[in-house]
Each structure stands twice: as C-alpha cells, then as structure tokens.
Structure 1
Amino acid sequence: MASTKKITLKSSDGETFDVDQAVALQSQTIKHVIEDVCADNGIPLPNVTGKILAKVIEYCKKHVEMPKDADDRATEDELKAWDTEFVKVDQAVLFYLILAANYLNIKSLLSLTCQTVADMIKGKTPEEIRRTFNIKDEFTPEEEEEVRRENQWAFERNIKNAEEEVEVRRENQWASEWAFAEEEEVLWQWAFE
C-alpha cells in the first residue's frame, strides 16, 4: 500500500480502529475531516458502531489492496465475487451497512448494499416484500385498492409501448411517490426496532 500513515477511527460504542490512511480515505466524510481538522486524536464516528465499522474497514481495505489494473478482468471478477460474499449478512447488518456507507460517503459500498436490497425486492409482489422484510401491512383494504387504482400501470405486466408507460407514470407520479414513501418509512422503522 502506498500510504503507511495510520488514522484512528472511533466508533459510537467506543471501539477504536487504527487503519492505513489509504483505507480511511475511501470515505469522503473521513477525507474531509482529515483535510479540514487535525485528526491526530482520532476521528469520532458517532453514527457507526464498532461491529459495523469493522465491516466497513474490511470492505475498504479489500478495495484498496486490489490491484487497479483496468485490463485485468480476472482481478475485477475476483473483486465482484468478494463483494457478493461480503454482503451475505443478515438484514439488520445490511441496513446498518447502508446507513454507514451513506454517512461515511463511500459510494461503492452504498451502491453495493443498496443493489443487494434491490435484488432482494426484484420480481416480488408487495406481499412477498413485506414477508421478506417483516413489514406490517398498515394499509386498509380500501387504501390499498386506492393505491392500486391510482398506480394501475405498476400492476399491469403488458403495457403495449414504452411511451404509454412513461405518460401513465408521469400522470400518477405523485401517487407513486406517496406509496413508496409509506413503504420506505415502514422499512426504516423495522430496521431500527
């Protein structure tokens, strides 16, 4: 590794981690702290527990240590395989990794973890998604019917052309955003119970 300078990171539960500067700089948040403030006494990370910070450091270290040869397809495939294994964690850890990646501004980790959740949702019915994430259905049957009626395009599989789909989505965008916001709020409440 090019950098041998160590940076001390302090988790919300008091754990400290001494990491190579190159690893710490994978986080744009930490990078800005180092640039703007003296980091000699360590960098407190009040929104990240030690357990999650250890996982984040593991991810950043692996990505720093991998050779950056753009022409090496084997290296790229190896890193993708490692990433796939890295996100095979329980849902709570996955959601905390998303929050940590967002807070620490590590775009590649945020993208990886969010894509993992998207893959868990892909192709599932609302009922299956609720079961997967243990989400209570807080809609009354009448409210659910209203959302389905207002967002009929989302429940139809055979829209004849893309232009029609775009127009329907534009007309019902506010309803879609409302329904998504309701589901997202329930999901995040579940993640922190």
Structure 2
Amino acid sequence: MSKSEKKIVLKSSDGETVEVEEAVALQSPTITHIVKDSCVGNEILLENVTGQILAKVIEYCKKHVVVDGDGVSSEELKNWDTEFAKNVDESMLLNLTLAADYLKIESLFHLITETVARVIETKTVEELRTFFNVENDYTPEEEAQIRKENSWGFDDI
C-alpha cells in the first residue's frame, strides 16, 4: 500500500482510536455505508465494538485486504485464518462474533461462528451456561424432569 493512501480513524465504544488504511476499513460494508452516505469526516465511531475487539477485527481485515500483487495464496490465507481463530480467547469469541455481524464482515463472521460451534460442542450444559452467561432458573426437580423428558438430547452429556 502506498504511503499516500487515504486513512480512516476508527473509534471504539471505549474511546480507543485506530488509524487504518481506507482499503482495510472498507472491508466492512457497515463502514463503507457510513463513509459513502454521510459527512462524518475521517473518524468513525463504532458504538458496538470495544478497542480490544476492534484490534482483532483490524488484524483480520489487514490480512484479507485485496492488494494487487500481494501474492498470498488462498491456501496460505486459509491457514492464517485457522491460526487466527485458534488464537482468539474464548472470552472474546462472542464479542468478536457480534462485531463481525455489526460490521457485516461475512468471512470473519463465518470463521468465528464455526470456531464457537467447535468450542461449544465440547462443553457440558453447566459450562455452556457459564460461557453464554445464562442463569439456571430451574429448580433441581424441574431440571431433572426436563432431562428425563428429553433424554435423547443429553445422551452424550
């Protein structure tokens, strides 16, 4: 990318600002829409994305930006995606999923939701409650009855 390429400043919900090349930022249809349809200047507030999550989104977008003569094969990119997903902390997965959805970055959304699916398939019901921050409002008797009525769904748990 040339040094004269236009930059866009992205501001997270917690006040962190990051200056990125326009080509990187415009991988998000949400940001593209904001840039093309409004007069926001060159700073865009992303109300639903924290600085920590924005940094991961930018890391992903920088790798995926299409640059003439970049020479990155689809296999190399697939391997990079696999490593990227492996290195995302479980506590970040849901927020990164929400950010990818909000920013409408489909390839990131699919990568992270597939990762979430792999994570949750190995968890117990109690671990899933913790992971998704779901309060168990059933009494032990109610839960036992539900497990009995739906035993087919609890065979592997």
Give the structure-1-normalised TM-score.
0.65
Does the 8 Å contact 2:30/2:104 carry over to 1?
yes
Gaps of 5+ in 1: 158-193
Identify which of 79, 82, 85 aligns with 2:80.
82
SS for the counterpart of 2:73 is helix
Match of 2:37 in 1: 36
Task: For residue 39 of structure 1, report the CA deviation from its aligned partner.
Answer: 3.6
Q: 1:67 to 1:122 in 2, by over 3 A?
A: farther
Change in CA separation of 1:68 and 1:114 when aligned onto 2, cut-off 3 Å: farther
Paired residues, what number?
A: 154
Please give the alpha-carbon distance, in whole angstroms, between the structure 2 residues aligned to 1:126 and 1:67: 48
- Give the TM-score taking structure 2 as reference length: 0.77
Secondary structure in structure 1 of the residue aligned to 2:15: coil
Deviation at 1:108, TM superposition (A): 1.4
Alpha carbons of structure 1 residues 115 and 66: separation in structure 2 relative to 1, 3 Å: farther
- 1:168-191 CA-to-partner distances (Å, cap 9, x unmatched) read xxxxxxxxxxxxxxxxxxxxxxxx
Alpha-carbon separation, structure 2, partners of 1:151 and 1:37: 52
Unaligned residue ranges in structure 2 (runs of 5+): none
Query: Cα RMSD between the aligned structures?
Result: 3.2
8 Å contact from structure 1 (residues 10, 44) kept in 2? yes
Aligned partner of 2:116: which letter? V
Tell me whether 92-101 or 131-140 shows the greater mean CA deviation: 131-140
- Higher mean alpha-carbon deviation, 47-56 vs 141-150, is at 141-150
**2:108 is aligned with 1:109:** yes
Distance in 2 of aligned mates of 1:127 and 1:77: 37
Aligned partners of 1:130 and 1:137 also within 8 Å:
yes
Q: Which has the higher contact order (CA 8 A, sep 6+)?
A: 2
Q: Which residue of 2 aligns with 1:92?
A: 91
Residue identity (%): 57
CA displacement at 1:28 relative to structure 2: 1.5
Larger Rg: 1
Choose between structure 1 and 2: higher helix proportion. Answer: 1
Are the aligned partners of 1:15 and 1:50 in contact in 2 as well (CA < 8 Å)? Answer: yes
Distance 1:13 1:135, change over 3 A: closer
Q: CA deviation at 1:152?
A: 3.9
Partner secondary structure for residue 48 of structure 1? coil
